A = this chain, B = another copy of it.
């Protein structure tokens, strides 16, 4: 299916967005009232509402017959269709995809996950995700005529680094899983299915954005690290997600912390990941005689104040704190956030990171960032993807622009800040 493209689409989307927001803020309104509130001509508004009605984004709720004083034909009153989805967040993990659907108020309407095998192709993963959306739609009576934006989180660097051998060449077969090619086609599949702009980014980076804008105390400069099977990171600098020159920014897990340390899956030795990932921590516990199989075992050892667990966790956190110290000297963030389930099971991690970090910084208290555990859990990856498409995110406004968007901002009715102003926008 051919998608409409270019400036006109963006302008139309902006109009639609204004109409939807007016209805969201004011409840049911007549076309005349909407036209006044959003500052559009009756003709343009009529086109917009016609399209929105046809797609089921809004519904006719009644007429203003009972409320009007003047004569003439009663005007229809329009309102948002509460069953109409507005935003979608999709998080592709290594073994499951999580989908969150939100309404115009950014409230979650439906959410679920579906598992797949770690070897599943991207075509299969995409098909499973779209099937999940269909199921949620059927179960919850949600329809998608007015989707404003879709955020998709993927594991691994995004955009895929440009290798001399091509993105799907020898690298896919190398020992460096963090460098496997990004899932081309996922964005197109969602854009074509829902006729909405799609933002794709690394899911750890999207989590960083979600943490930066979460709550009332949003920050413009944030360093985010997630400890799980690996150690990933994401940066928000000056209010923008940082991708780097080749899509590799935020790879704090592969900073060397022990030059003669254990081999890392990336091909180096002694990366932070080898000591601060969950497998790295469990391996160190074994090395000191504490035989733990999994995160649950570790949680029990922590609860029992086992000295080996405490020591290993503190050493891992100290290494993490030194890496974050260098990142903090480099970027001077207002906040450092440590994510991953292990952070909740072992609070000593965040405590020790904060203590090590304090020693790594200038001896001036005011210069140090706040250090805290992530507010969103690992299962909230789709929330991070959702965060990237919420219009009213002041952070998104400055996210790298596509050429189309630059053109669009020259148009008279173009937005200052819309979902379309984001990276990797389709259409």
Within 8 Å of chain B (Cβ to Cβ): is A235?
Answer: yes
0/1 interface trace, chain A 200-223, chain B, CB 8 Å (1 if under): 000000000000000000011100
- Segment of A138-146, A240-248, A384-392 engaged in the interface with chain B: A240-248
CA–CA, A407 and B368, complex, Å: 32
- Segment of A85-93, A172-180, A280-288, A297-305 engaged in the interface with chain B: A172-180
Task: Evaluate contact between B331 and A246: CB separation under 8 angstroms.
Answer: no
Give the B-binding residues of A (Cβ under 8 A).
Answer: 161-164, 171, 174, 176, 178-179, 219-221, 233, 235, 237-238, 240, 242-252, 254-256, 266-268, 322-323, 325-327, 329-334, 359-360, 362-367, 369, 398, 400, 410, 416
Chain B residue at minimal CB-CB distance from A171: B364
**13 new A-B pairs (CB below 8 Å) besides A176-B364, A221-B244, A248-B329?**
A163-B366, A179-B364, A237-B237, A245-B333, A247-B332, A249-B332, A254-B329, A254-B362, A256-B326, A266-B362, A267-B363, A268-B360, A327-B330
Closest 3 CB pairs of A and B: A244-B332, A245-B334, A267-B363
Query: Smallest distance from the beta carbon of A268 to chain B beta carbons, Å?
Result: 7
- CB-CB under 8 A from A364, the residues of chain B are 161, 163, 171, 174, 176, 179
- CB-CB under 8 A from A369, the residues of chain B are 245
Integer count of this chain's copies in the complex: 2
CA–CA, A398 and B410, complex, Å: 16
- CB-CB under 8 A from A416, the residues of chain B are 410
Chain B residue at minimal CB-CB distance from A271: B329
- CB-CB under 8 A from A244, the residues of chain B are 221, 331-333
Task: Evaluate contact between A179 and B362: CB separation under 8 angstroms.
Answer: yes
A-B contact pairs, 19 of them (CB 8 A): A174-B363, A178-B362, A179-B364, A179-B367, A233-B330, A235-B330, A237-B237, A245-B332, A248-B332, A249-B331, A254-B362, A255-B325, A255-B326, A256-B322, A256-B325, A256-B360, A266-B363, A267-B362, A326-B330
Task: Evaluate contact between B268 and A245: CB separation under 8 angstroms.
Answer: no
Task: Evaluate contact between B331 and A366: CB separation under 8 angstroms.
Answer: no
- CB-CB under 8 A from A219, the residues of chain B are 245
CA–CA, A368 and B243, complex, Å: 15
- CB-CB under 8 A from A400, the residues of chain B are 238
CA–CA, A348 and B219, complex, Å: 41
Interface secondary structure of A, over-half rule: loop
Query: Smallest distance from the beta carbon of A346 to chain B beta carbons, Å?
Result: 24
- CB-CB under 8 A from A360, the residues of chain B are 255-256, 268
Most buried by B among A220, A233, A244, A369: A244
Query: Smallest distance from the beta carbon of A177 to chain B beta carbons, Å?
Result: 11
Chain B residue at minimal CB-CB distance from A406: B416
CA–CA, A360 and B270, complex, Å: 10
CA–CA, A398 and B421, complex, Å: 14
Task: Evaluate contact between A329 and B363: CB separation under 8 angstroms.
Answer: no
CA–CA, A359 and B256, complex, Å: 10
Query: Smallest distance from the beta carbon of A64 to chain B beta carbons, Å?
Result: 34
CA–CA, A327 and B398, complex, Å: 23
- CB-CB under 8 A from A161, the residues of chain B are 364, 366-367
CA–CA, A235 and B331, complex, Å: 8
Most buried by B among A237, A252, A333: A237
- CB-CB under 8 A from A249, the residues of chain B are 330-332
Query: Smallest distance from the beta carbon of A164 to chain B beta carbons, Å?
Result: 6
Query: Smallest distance from the beta carbon of A356 to chain B beta carbons, Å?
Result: 10
Which of B238, B246, B250, B359 has a CB less than 8 Å from the CB of A330?
A: B250
Most buried by B among A221, A329, A398: A329
Query: Smallest distance from the beta carbon of A325 to chain B beta carbons, Å?
Result: 7
- CB-CB under 8 A from A248, the residues of chain B are 329, 332, 362, 367
Chain B residue at minimal CB-CB distance from A335: B245
- CB-CB under 8 A from A398, the residues of chain B are 398
